[in-house]
Structure 1
Amino acid sequence: MNSISLFQLRKNVESNCTSLSDGSLSLLEKLIDQADQQNKFSKPMVWIGIYIAIASLFCILPILVDLLHGFKNKNYWFPCKYFTLNAASLTVIAVAMKLPMDLNNPMPSQVDQAAKVGSMAFMCTIMANLLPSLATMDGKELLTNIIALGILVITLVVNVCIQIQTGVVNNNKHYNPTYDIVTYNSFLIAILYVAMLFVLLMIHTCSAFMILKSKQILESKYKAGHKIALKDLELRQPTVEKLKQYVSNHWIMAGTGSPQFVTVCSATTSASGVICVVSTFIHVIIMLLTRPYMKLYGSDYKWSVLMILLTQFTGSILGTVAPLSRCFASLSFKVSIKWIWNQIRVFKVESYYTHKLSDWKQSSVPLKFSSRRCKIVLHDLKVLILDFCIDIQIMVVVACKMAALIPVFFVIGVLCCSHSWKWLNVVCGASYNMSVKTPARLQHTKDLSHYILQLQDDMQLAERTLKSISISVNRVIRRAEKQRPNNLMMFLEESRGFEGVGKYNVPQILPITEEKYVDCWSLSIVTLTTIAISLPSIQNSMVDRLLRSVSEGLTYVTHVEENLNSSDEYAIIQKAARRLWLEVEVYHKWLGIKVQNLAHQFYTTQENVKWLSDIAKNMATLVERNDIKSSDDSLLHVLVSANSMYRIAQTILVSYHASIDYVSYEELFVKLSLMISDILAACLTNLPRVITMKCHTSVIEKREESVQTAAQLLGETMQIINSLADRELPSLNPDELPFIDQWRDCFLHSSP
């Protein structure tokens, strides 16, 4: 009862109170008080409705981002990158499903009923979009999320069934005689959506079992393909063309062997897409029927129910794009007339759908019983339950394959029209040679066959899909070429060798700390850059150019260090270098000291460099005496940075001991810049190895992302790799090239 009806009731009671008995008046007053109390309780329902609409919007946004990401990368099977099944998404989905979960709040009008059943259609769309994301999880995470999704869906189904029984779904029967037909339809539609949700839950569970086994099959085939790719690669210093081919081969393996890609190719995904399309179609019909009555809402949610209805309807429309596209994309990956005919003729259930259940069936029961009879009973019960589950699994797969025939028949029609058009062109004498496979194309396809990963050996990847995958890697590389580090490339051209690696730090200079720290590329570069920018009378343009070049270079140095120098002792130094560089680049400070301002008080380069050395020594001494109070991490950062500054500054003083007073600031700046350039060049000779390492990762779920990073890195650094390939490397083993101290020792030992 709303506030208007309460006011009218109060007015009627006051006008007729003289004709009412005391008992009747008391009863009416109680009814009015109860209605007034109920109206007070229902006031927050509008805000709850807004909250539901916002939660629905948070479900729609990642779906939309996945669509845009798929269109941008021309992945028309739309992998789940942002909208995935996890604790956060399940929580938001649970909030968005508040209307069908509401057991006792009456929904009298047509708009209210449409919003309630529309939420179930939105849930069908959400589940169809979430299905490929199951492939991104490991076994434990997959089990946890499937159980959580099952609890949510079963709760939703049970609540809707209760509402069907109690008449909440059918509650507008007496609201207006005009709505009788719509009331009857909402009852049937709710039952239909309940069935769809239950079937989608079974499809998700079935897909989860398939994913667990498919990853094992794909992993074994990936290892074989990786061994073949390694044979064609020169590990010491491969050329750019070799790297391109290596990246392309792993791109194909990562793409065709992606768990999401394989899941999209399955019949379960096609079936979920068909269900999603059907549910959205019904939702559209409901909206068309509800359109004339949009302002006639009668529940406690008031106008917010219309907000929920429109938001979730928009989500259902947008969310249907990806499942529908996956239905046809999965066919285009493997389509041929022969394969389609086999799909129609025989509904074969592949072993990877039931393999996990069969393994559980043959495994022992983890529970311990002393009684042999108990063990027999428990084992027989387990076998009986799992046999039933296997039968259900087979039935679900067969049903999914039958549902998947709907897009199959559509594709058959398209193929027939396509072949007829080609035949007509041939008959009419048109030159149509695009479909003719030249020997070179056949050989190319044959060469790539080692890198195409499929669950079924008898299923061949369509040539256009293989071509699309090959084009996509080239597109990433070309796009990355436009982002190449131009400042770094010009900076590296100033040096012609790697001699600077042997000059930046000599072993004769003892560390100022009791503990010896290893050298790393990034900290040495940052320290040398700090000394260079501290020199007075240097043009700002030269300083800015050095900072830009070093900033771009450190990006790739980080790739080298994270992949080739990843032990704990190196990680500590690298972390200190990152923190120090942020301070140097942004504020032109070194451990809080404005080095540029203070350096102007010195008259010679020797005084300037010696001042930096003394500052570093004093800081290290204060830290070791605990005169500086800070966290252990910050103290270690100061010690590492101070030790590096002291040793490099002392090396400069020792190297130019006879002439440093006569070296101008500009000359020293140029010498330091060349030294930095040599060190960067030496470090970046490891880029080919980093790229090959990024192509291969043992975690199947991260393989696509890792290969894409490798392709991006290759595109950005191709010119750098080519330019460094002409330089002669020192006589080091491949395993020694990633370490700056090995380079330094090699140059020191080889110098006269």
Structure 2
Amino acid sequence: MGKLGCNINGYLDDTKFREPMPWIGLYVVAASLVFLISMAVDAIQGIRNRKFWFPSKFSSLNATSLTLLAVAMKLSVDLNTSMPRRQEQLAKLSTTVFICTVMGNSMPSLGTMENKEMFMNIMALGILVITVIVNICIQLATGVVYVFWKEQVFIMIIMLVLLLLLSFSALTVPTTKQYLELKYNKKHQVALKESSSETGKTVVDKLRQDLMKYWVMAHTCSPQFVMGRSVTCTAAGAFCLLSAAILAEAMLRSYFMPWSFKFCSGESDYKWSTTFVLVIQTIAVGIGTIAPACRWFTAIHFSCPRKGNQSGTKEFKVEHYWIHSLVEMKECPLTLQVHNRHYRKLVHDAKYKFLDLCIIVQTGIVLTSKLIRCISVFFVSQILSSCNCCKELTRKFKFNKSVSSTQSASESHQPRLKLDLSHFVLHLEGEDNLVQTMMKCSRDPTEHWMRRGEKRRPKYLIKLLEMSTRGFMGVGKFDSNQVPSLGSEEPPNCWALPVVTLTSIAVAIPNISPRLIKELILSVNEGLMYVRTIESDLDAKGDLINIRKAAEVVWLGVEFYHKWLDVDLRKLSLQGESPKETLQQLVDIAKSRLMEFHKASHTNLCLKQSPSNWPIKVLAANSMYRIGQTLLLTAERKNGQVHEKLYEAVAVMISDILGACLTNLQRFISMRCLSTAIEKREESVRDAVCCFGKTLKILKLQEQRAVPSLDPYQIACIDEWRSLYMQKKPLPSYTAESEIASSDSSDVYLTIE
């Protein structure tokens, strides 16, 4: 009978049922620890990046976090396990406060969600919150929770309020996104017109100012920032701070005023694990309250009377975007098909009544949130005024000692400070008073990310690009139209494949210093990082995807193993007696592979396909055949003199191709500021600013080169460059420096030490 779970008397033996409970408590600790870490990381990132509205990147509301939250609330929903001791009753309370903290902390993440995802997450969160509240009410009635009942009631009310704030704030997200997206597009056009109308500035200076404008626009219209600075999020921060204060009050009273409580003796089934739950969840509440409390305090700081903000009736105006979605839903007819006219009328009337109620609730929530903000401002403004007086006195005391240094610093930064970006701040109705504050908070990161990018500039690539010729003539000379084609058509070129093919040839050339080979590979590797991103963004139709894959496969072998496909380039270099023989071997190997493919295609008609869709190895072989044959033809025209200069010629061709490709950097950086979705635009603009810092020296270097007169779409295509050079059109010279730096010789090589 023991195997069936019964004792010798035939009764159910439940003594072993309680043994896993401490381990279940550790399971709760693990889930709470994940939240603690995620909220701590968000707090650290917010402080580090000076985003004191604290975006919820790691502690966002999603399926994973909701599942972990369901695990972390185990103690709150446990109806029949006794909790006699102090730490167990406190653990019950800390779990409910922990839920409030998670809700308030993750509120800005609503801005990053799609409508359906947001609806499902809010519904799931609502079910969890209602479940917790019902279970706590049952425990209060049955006596499982027999102390801190007042605190539990207050926390349940706060949980309901936070759920309402999250639910009705989510209704405004689609409206604000749509409005700010339209506003961003208009301001983007304004920025382009201002940039095109400015004269006397270099491309680098124009791009720097454009990026500052794009950053201000992207940052101020970031959905998380919009949600984080809203009055409902501010109110949520106040309620989170209040819930944490309630937990602190209960803990302090229980430990420092033990005579005011009478706890039961005995031990819970969770045993020692409840102490761990209490400690971890209390720490999580403390860390998780940082972000909501800072959002609340920042809103108060911006709304204080000393800021010059207007008060009165305008403060309690409910802007239209708060109820826009509800009004639209009310005006749209129901898609529900009800044949009976009487019942159909009842359904429509019920919908109108329900949405009218929702509009009233939404209006009440907004007005209450604004009232909370005004009350907070009233009590905190005196403290802020005292702090400001102390700062002013300190500043006046130190002013005389630092006049000269301050003046020199202001003079050095004066040109950039003159740029007025206030009209690029994107704000909603009722946020006019925050424009100047948001502008000041949004401008600093651009300089930070530029400097950070400059510290990580590609030094090997810059050294290689300094070898490029006037007009990047090597783009037109790496593949000659005199090379006989082995097929009926030729595949198009991408930027990366000729570069990796030429690098493979350079590695195979005999008697070249290993140091030069290593530096060339490092340079090309840095250049390909930019080539990949440029081609990925500019190849919108995806016509070159297969060819770009071929370049990736070839480069993987060249960089790590010094192999072109399965050909050992270093071994070929050691065996070769002259550069021409080595080059001829590579051409022969590539030619044989091409001939095999074309022979198989003629034999089996099913193998015939567009050149762009050829197998990757065939595309690589075709590139090697054409480029290698072109170099051999050049060697014959130079009567053998180029044999000793082959490495130099190849290196300059690589430099020219990379330099020509990187002329798309300006367009690429501008596209990154517009083409991404509004949820990811701030991060995209930040990456563009960092990319500008990395390539700043490259952009300045390219201003000294003459660039062909092609439109932006032609500049993005290497075959358009080749077509221009095949026509032998003259190249315009943009600057006097480019004329001085250019060489009169048309040779595609320079001497490398």
Classify the TM-score, shorter chain: 0.7 to 0.9
Structure 2: which amino acid aligns with 1:554? L
| TM-score, normalization by structure 1 | 0.86
Residue 518 of structure 2 is matched in structure 1 by: 544
Once the two structures are superposed, residues 467-516 of structure 1 have per-residue CA deviations (whole angstroms, 9 ceiling, x without a partner) of 23212211111121111111111111122320111111123435546664
**Which one of the candidate residues 215, 220, 225 is aligned to 2:182?**
220
Residue 213 of structure 2 is matched in structure 1 by: 249
Cα deviation, residue 273, structure 1? 0.8
- Are positions 1:701 and 2:674 aligned together? no
Percent identity between matched residues is: 38
Residue 521 of structure 1 is matched in structure 2 by: 495
**Which one of the candidate residues 435, 440, 455 is aligned to 1:467?**
440
Once the two structures are superposed, residues 136-174 of structure 1 have per-residue CA deviations (whole angstroms, 9 ceiling, x without a partner) of 11222222221222122222222222222222223xxxx
Task: Indicate how the Cα distance of structure 1 residues 355 and 265 shifts in structure 2: closer, same or farther if over 3 A, else same.
Answer: same
Distance in 1 (alpha carbons) for counterparts of 2:17 and 2:613: 55
Once the two structures are superposed, residues 609-645 of structure 1 have per-residue CA deviations (whole angstroms, 9 ceiling, x without a partner) of 1211222233345566499xxxx99982212222211
- Are positions 1:567 and 2:541 aligned together? yes
- Are positions 1:189 and 2:151 aligned together? yes
Distance in 1 (alpha carbons) for counterparts of 2:212 and 2:398: 38
Matches within 5 A, 1:1-40: 30=9, 34=12, 37-40=13-16
Residue 593 of structure 2 is matched in structure 1 by: 619
Cα deviation, residue 462, structure 1? 5.5
Structure 1: which amino acid aligns with 2:79? L
Distance in 1 (alpha carbons) for counterparts of 2:142 and 2:208: 66
Contact (CA 8 Å) 1:112, 1:297: kept in 2 or not? no
Cα deviation, residue 43, structure 1? 1.3
Contact (CA 8 Å) 2:151, 2:250: kept in 1 or not? no
Cα deviation, residue 715, structure 1? 0.6
Cα deviation, residue 565, structure 1? 2.2
Cα deviation, residue 238, structure 1? 6.1
Structure 2: which amino acid aligns with 1:219? E
**Range that drifts further, 739-748 or 592-601:** 592-601
Structure 2: which amino acid aligns with 1:591? L
Cα deviation, residue 600, structure 1? 2.4
Contact (CA 8 Å) 1:111, 1:297: kept in 2 or not? no
Q: Unmatched 5+ residue regions in structure 2?
A: 1-5, 604-608, 731-753
Cα deviation, residue 532, structure 1? 0.6
Cα deviation, residue 120, structure 1? 0.8
Cα deviation, residue 67, structure 1? 1.3
Secondary structure at the aligned position of 1:83 is classed as coil
Residue 690 of structure 1 is matched in structure 2 by: 668
**Which one of the candidate residues 289, 303, 308 is aligned to 2:272?**
303
Contact (CA 8 Å) 2:425, 2:438: kept in 1 or not? no
Residue 622 of structure 2 is matched in structure 1 by: 643
Residue 170 of structure 2 is matched in structure 1 by: 208
Residue 748 of structure 1 is matched in structure 2 by: 726
- Are positions 1:578 and 2:552 aligned together? yes
Residue 483 of structure 1 is matched in structure 2 by: 456
Residue 371 of structure 2 is matched in structure 1 by: 402
Task: Indicate how the Cα distance of structure 1 residues 84 and 600 shifts in structure 2: closer, same or farther if over 3 A, else same.
Answer: same
**Range that drifts further, 38-47 or 454-463:** 454-463
Contact (CA 8 Å) 1:361, 1:383: kept in 2 or not? yes
Task: Indicate how the Cα distance of structure 1 residues 153 and 508 shifts in structure 2: closer, same or farther if over 3 A, else same.
Answer: farther
Once the two structures are superposed, residues 324-381 of structure 1 have per-residue CA deviations (whole angstroms, 9 ceiling, x without a partner) of 1111223445655476562688522222111111110111111123333333222111
- Are positions 1:273 and 2:237 aligned together? yes
Residue 730 of structure 1 is matched in structure 2 by: 708
Once the two structures are superposed, residues 524-551 of structure 1 have per-residue CA deviations (whole angstroms, 9 ceiling, x without a partner) of 1111101111122211100000011111
**Range that drifts further, 280-289 or 105-114:** 280-289
Task: Indicate how the Cα distance of structure 1 residues 250 and 747 shifts in structure 2: closer, same or farther if over 3 A, else same.
Answer: same
Contact (CA 8 Å) 2:664, 2:715: kept in 1 or not? yes
Distance in 1 (alpha carbons) for counterparts of 2:395 and 2:417: 26
**Count of residue pairs the alignment pairs up:** 702
- Are positions 1:89 and 2:65 aligned together? yes
Task: Indicate how the Cα distance of structure 1 residues 40 and 411 shifts in structure 2: closer, same or farther if over 3 A, else same.
Answer: same
Distance in 2 (alpha carbons) for counterparts of 1:571 and 1:337: 58
Once the two structures are superposed, residues 430-469 of structure 1 have per-residue CA deviations (whole angstroms, 9 ceiling, x without a partner) of 88999xx99x999978942320111026622253542232
- Are positions 1:378 and 2:347 aligned together? yes
Distance in 2 (alpha carbons) for counterparts of 1:402 and 1:318: 27
Distance in 1 (alpha carbons) for counterparts of 2:33 and 2:387: 41
Cα deviation, residue 403, structure 1? 2.3
Residue 292 of structure 2 is matched in structure 1 by: 323
Task: Indicate how the Cα distance of structure 1 residues 578 and 87 shifts in structure 2: closer, same or farther if over 3 A, else same.
Answer: same
Secondary structure at the aligned position of 1:556 is classed as helix
**Which one of the candidate residues 242, 245, 248 is aligned to 1:284?**
248
Structure 2: which amino acid aligns with 1:746? L
Distance in 1 (alpha carbons) for counterparts of 2:100 and 2:36: 13
Distance in 1 (alpha carbons) for counterparts of 2:576 and 2:396: 90
Residue 610 of structure 1 is matched in structure 2 by: 584
Secondary structure at the aligned position of 1:697 is classed as coil
Distance in 2 (alpha carbons) for counterparts of 1:231 and 1:76: 33
Distance in 1 (alpha carbons) for counterparts of 2:68 and 2:182: 38
| TM-score, normalization by structure 2 | 0.86
Distance in 2 (alpha carbons) for counterparts of 1:108 and 1:620: 82
Contact (CA 8 Å) 1:340, 1:408: kept in 2 or not? no
Contact (CA 8 Å) 1:112, 1:305: kept in 2 or not? yes
Structure 2: which amino acid aligns with 1:117? L
Task: Indicate how the Cα distance of structure 1 residues 148 and 660 shifts in structure 2: closer, same or farther if over 3 A, else same.
Answer: farther
Distance in 1 (alpha carbons) for counterparts of 2:581 and 2:265: 86
**Which one of the candidate residues 313, 322, 326 is aligned to 2:282?**
313
**Which one of the candidate residues 9, 12, 25 is aligned to 1:49?**
25
Task: Indicate how the Cα distance of structure 1 residues 638 and 334 shifts in structure 2: closer, same or farther if over 3 A, else same.
Answer: farther
Secondary structure at the aligned position of 2:694 is classed as helix
- Are positions 1:670 and 2:648 aligned together? yes
Structure 2: which amino acid aligns with 1:369? V
Contact (CA 8 Å) 1:731, 1:746: kept in 2 or not? no
- Are positions 1:73 and 2:37 aligned together? no
Task: Indicate how the Cα distance of structure 1 residues 41 and 148 shifts in structure 2: closer, same or farther if over 3 A, else same.
Answer: same
Task: Indicate how the Cα distance of structure 1 residues 156 and 739 shifts in structure 2: closer, same or farther if over 3 A, else same.
Answer: same
Residue 654 of structure 1 is matched in structure 2 by: 633
Task: Indicate how the Cα distance of structure 1 residues 539 and 227 shifts in structure 2: closer, same or farther if over 3 A, else same.
Answer: same
Distance in 2 (alpha carbons) for counterparts of 1:427 and 1:192: 47
Structure 1: which amino acid aligns with 2:535? E
Alpha-carbon RMSD: 3.4
Task: Indicate how the Cα distance of structure 1 residues 234 and 522 shifts in structure 2: closer, same or farther if over 3 A, else same.
Answer: farther
Secondary structure at the aligned position of 2:267 is classed as coil
Contact (CA 8 Å) 1:334, 1:459: kept in 2 or not? no
Secondary structure at the aligned position of 2:714 is classed as coil
Distance in 2 (alpha carbons) for counterparts of 1:611 and 1:108: 85
**Which one of the candidate residues 669, 685, 688 is aligned to 1:710?**
688
Contact (CA 8 Å) 1:623, 1:635: kept in 2 or not? no
Distance in 2 (alpha carbons) for counterparts of 1:191 and 1:593: 75
Distance in 2 (alpha carbons) for counterparts of 1:603 and 1:83: 63
Contact (CA 8 Å) 1:605, 1:660: kept in 2 or not? no
Cα deviation, residue 288, structure 1? 3.2
Contact (CA 8 Å) 2:215, 2:685: kept in 1 or not? yes
Residue 10 of structure 1 is matched in structure 2 by: none
**Range that drifts further, 230-239 or 556-565:** 230-239
Distance in 1 (alpha carbons) for counterparts of 2:126 and 2:111: 17
Distance in 2 (alpha carbons) for counterparts of 1:593 and 1:532: 14
Contact (CA 8 Å) 2:584, 2:628: kept in 1 or not? yes
